[in-house]
Chains A and B, each alone.
Chain A
Amino acid sequence: MTSLGGVFYYLRTRAWIWSFVATAMVWIATILFTGGHGGGQMLTAALSFATFTIIVGIGQMFVITTGPGNVDLSIPATMALSGAITTKIMDTQDGMILTGFAVALGVGLAVGLFNYGLIRLLRIPPIIATLSASFLVQSTAIAYGRGLRIKPPPALADFTTAEIGGIPILSICGVVFTIIMGVVLARTFYGRSVLAVGQNMRAAWLAGIPVERTRLVTYVLSAMLAGLSGLLLSGFSGGSSLNMGEEYLLASIAVVVIGGTSVAGGRANVPGIWGAALFLYLLVTMLNTFGASAGLRLIMTGVIIIAVITVAGSGEQKR
């Protein structure tokens, strides 16, 4: 009895479990349908694509955690701009990869500072500020690249697509990065400031936490991760394109929410992002495998996401 109760308590306090449970269920359902065929490859593909969602998702999670109304809508545009500029600068030269990474982070830094400038100096709500910034950034990407697709340097393409025993190297890096960010959030002054600001901005300010500096760093972090993701994605898919970031706008927010992070801010859930990203990918794979039509697929995606959030959230209400 007590052990069972213990298990329930454990589950209830760890909302991220649910996204992994859902992922496993979706995966098993798909394999049952294919008769045990291709399950491993499916996981490999899921890990590869989930990594990009996770990189931008972690940035989005920090932003959302800083409190109600905080969200970064400029992620897709930043990815497009970073992809366009870095592939052009690297110009398929392996020797330029490090420069490419520096430029990708630089693009992110610039966009992040600009976002925060709009929010702080012009007092524009973050949702409007980052949206309008994204128009400017996307237009810059269009004007700069004109849809030009330049191949990534071979070494970068190899790195982003390499696997060890079916596990993509990039995903291993992604897991390490996630652990680091988990520690940053839970153990460092900055991470705790993010949580405190998200719980109550005024209380955090009265407690002597540098509220505005925390928000500045958070928006810059999110944009830099978007820049990094843009570079890696163009390496992975053989070049950048103007609309390559489009689907990461909703995906970045969805993985944060499904992963168990509070939309109201102040409470983040790092491991849940992985569960959510894998879940979202495998869900689409499952419905594609079943041969569901696009309409049914969208309906099912919506229904299942609502179900997962409801199940995951119901435990927390009772706290």
Chain B
Amino acid sequence: MSFRVKLLSVAAIGLCLSAGSALADTAASKIALSNNYAGNSWRQAMLKSWEKVAGQAVKDGVVAEASAFTTSENQVTEQAAQIQNLILQGYNAIVINAASPDALNGAVKQACDAGIIVVSFDGIVTEPCAWRIAVDFKQMGAIQLDYLAERLPEGGDLLEIRGLAGVFVDDAIHSGIEAGVAKHSKFKVVGSVHGDWAQEVAQKAVAGVLPSLPEVKAVVTQGGDGYGAAQAFKAAGRPTPLIIMGNRQDELAWWKEQKDANGYETMSVSIAPGVSTLAFWVAQQILDGKEVPKDLTVPFLQINQADLEKSLETTEKGGVANVEYSLEDSQKVIAGK
């Protein structure tokens, strides 16, 4: 008898467990990605990561559908219309990389009112009903100066390459760099140009301002501009300063070349485009009924001298150093670990 009781209780526990996972049923849910821009390597990697991880989740039956939609013109009106279409198409969750932090709030509110889960990442939205997966961009600027203070204890003149004027990310990283310069007062920013996170634009801007500058010890950047800056220094026949890189494959490849040639040392920091997959799992977890705080912070991806070869190996030619999130990784981020 007692054996049967034991067996029963084991079965009961088993049932409870399976019931627990049966609750976690998002198999019928549809998740959409609303993306505002696809015209650079970072966004391409972001979409590819989504395709890979979310596509696998669909195959595994975790969700019913996980499609990505990109607007052609990087415009707020267009993305608002796109979100409205996604509402009508009956998606259960919409993951957004937004063209503007506040201009999409109306459309996002409509989605929330329709009972749709909205998760924004990278380009986040301020509408309170949505979840935000944000990057501490200010810190991304500040750690560059911390690194430089370690490498160049005597300080020196810096050239700052900023991003796209008027985008909050640019202001946030810039304020971090300003804070860093205030903290490490031996450094001085002697020139500042906008490189728009693009190698060609950065190269052009740096080439223009370089002749008027004294010797530059280091270049602080925002990502996607390091290789262009290196090209501009080379063309001007000036010694190559310490340029902080931004995880693009061409930047890492250039770094490796320099390292092999003359022992060049620097570091590289940016956000992994695979943050889209974190947003995917967060949306899935919310649909699953899990408690998820509205504001999450995603760690940025830093590559140091010792990790260079490994990162370069795993980064696709023309792509960006990347980390894709699994369900477990995402649960850790949600738990705040």
The answer to whether A149 and B212 touch across the interface, beta carbons within 8 angstroms, is: no
The answer to whether A281 and B208 touch across the interface, beta carbons within 8 angstroms, is: yes
> When chains A and B are docked, how far (Å) is the Cα of A150 from the Cα of B249?
11
The answer to whether B318 and A247 touch across the interface, beta carbons within 8 angstroms, is: no
Picked from A39, A150, A242, A281, the residue with its CB within 8 Å of the CB of B317 is: A150
The A interface, classified by DSSP as helix, strand, loop or mixed, is: helix
The answer to whether A238 and B319 touch across the interface, beta carbons within 8 angstroms, is: no
Question: Number of contact residues on B: which range applies?
Answer: 35 or more
Question: In the assembled complex, which residues on chain A have CB atoms less than 8 Å from the CB atom of B249?
Answer: 149
> When chains A and B are docked, how far (Å) is the Cα of A282 from the Cα of B318?
31
Question: In the assembled complex, which residues on chain A have CB atoms less than 8 Å from the CB atom of B203?
Answer: 237
Q: How far is the CB of B52 from chain A (nearest CB, A)?
A: 13
Known: A45-B236, A243-B40, A294-B166. A238 touches B231 (CB 8 A): yes
The answer to whether A146 and B193 touch across the interface, beta carbons within 8 angstroms, is: no
Known: A149-B249, A238-B199. A41 touches B236 (CB 8 A): yes
A275-313 residues at the B interface, CB under 8 angstroms: 281-282, 284-285, 288-289, 291, 294-295, 298
B207 within 8 A of A: yes
Contact with A along B187-211 (1 / 0, CB 8 A): 0000111100011110111011111
> When chains A and B are docked, how far (Å) is the Cα of A241 from the Cα of B82?
27
Q: How far is the CB of A238 from chain B (nearest CB, A)?
A: 6
B165 within 8 A of A: yes
Known: A142-B44, A147-B40. A42 touches B166 (CB 8 A): no
The answer to whether A295 and B165 touch across the interface, beta carbons within 8 angstroms, is: yes
A135 within 8 A of B: yes
A93 within 8 A of B: no
> When chains A and B are docked, how far (Å) is the Cα of A142 from the Cα of B38?
8
> When chains A and B are docked, how far (Å) is the Cα of A309 from the Cα of B54?
53
Known: A30-B212, A145-B318, A294-B194. A284 touches B41 (CB 8 A): no
The answer to whether B231 and A37 touch across the interface, beta carbons within 8 angstroms, is: no
The answer to whether B227 and A238 touch across the interface, beta carbons within 8 angstroms, is: yes
B141 within 8 A of A: no
The answer to whether B208 and A46 touch across the interface, beta carbons within 8 angstroms, is: yes
Question: In the assembled complex, which residues on chain A have CB atoms less than 8 Å from the CB atom of B228?
Answer: 237
The answer to whether A150 and B211 touch across the interface, beta carbons within 8 angstroms, is: no
> When chains A and B are docked, how far (Å) is the Cα of A49 from the Cα of B204?
7
Picked from A42, A148, A247, A281, the residue with its CB within 8 Å of the CB of B211 is: A42
Picked from A145, A241, A289, A298, the residue with its CB within 8 Å of the CB of B212 is: A289
A239 within 8 A of B: yes
A221 within 8 A of B: no
Known: A146-B318, A148-B317. A42 touches B208 (CB 8 A): yes
> When chains A and B are docked, how far (Å) is the Cα of A52 from the Cα of B166?
27
Question: In the assembled complex, which residues on chain B have CB atoms less than 8 Å from the CB atom of A49?
Answer: 204, 207-208
Residue of A at shortest CB range from B42? Answer: A147
Q: How far is the CB of A77 from chain B (nearest CB, A)?
A: 10
The answer to whether B208 and A149 touch across the interface, beta carbons within 8 angstroms, is: no
A189 within 8 A of B: no
The answer to whether B212 and A34 touch across the interface, beta carbons within 8 angstroms, is: yes
The answer to whether B200 and A244 touch across the interface, beta carbons within 8 angstroms, is: yes
A60 within 8 A of B: no
> When chains A and B are docked, how far (Å) is the Cα of A141 from the Cα of B250?
19
B30 within 8 A of A: no
A233 within 8 A of B: yes
> When chains A and B are docked, how far (Å) is the Cα of A168 from the Cα of B194?
24
B153 within 8 A of A: no
> When chains A and B are docked, how far (Å) is the Cα of A49 from the Cα of B319?
26
Residue of A at shortest CB range from B162? Answer: A294
Question: In the assembled complex, which residues on chain B have CB atoms less than 8 Å from the CB atom of A6?
Answer: none
The answer to whether B41 and A38 touch across the interface, beta carbons within 8 angstroms, is: no
> When chains A and B are docked, how far (Å) is the Cα of A246 from the Cα of B37?
13
The answer to whether B193 and A288 touch across the interface, beta carbons within 8 angstroms, is: yes
B263 within 8 A of A: no
Known: A45-B207, A161-B235, A237-B231. A150 touches B200 (CB 8 A): no
Q: Measuring CB to CB, which residues of chain B are less than 8 angstroms from any residue of chain A?
A: 38-41, 43-45, 48, 72, 162, 165-166, 191-194, 198-201, 203-205, 207-213, 227-228, 231, 235-236, 249-250, 317-319
| A-B CB contact pairs (8 Å), 12 listed | A39-B211, A45-B208, A48-B235, A49-B208, A149-B318, A237-B203, A238-B231, A241-B198, A243-B39, A244-B200, A284-B205, A288-B193
Closest 4 A/B residue pairs (Cβ): A38-B211, A148-B318, A294-B165, A147-B41
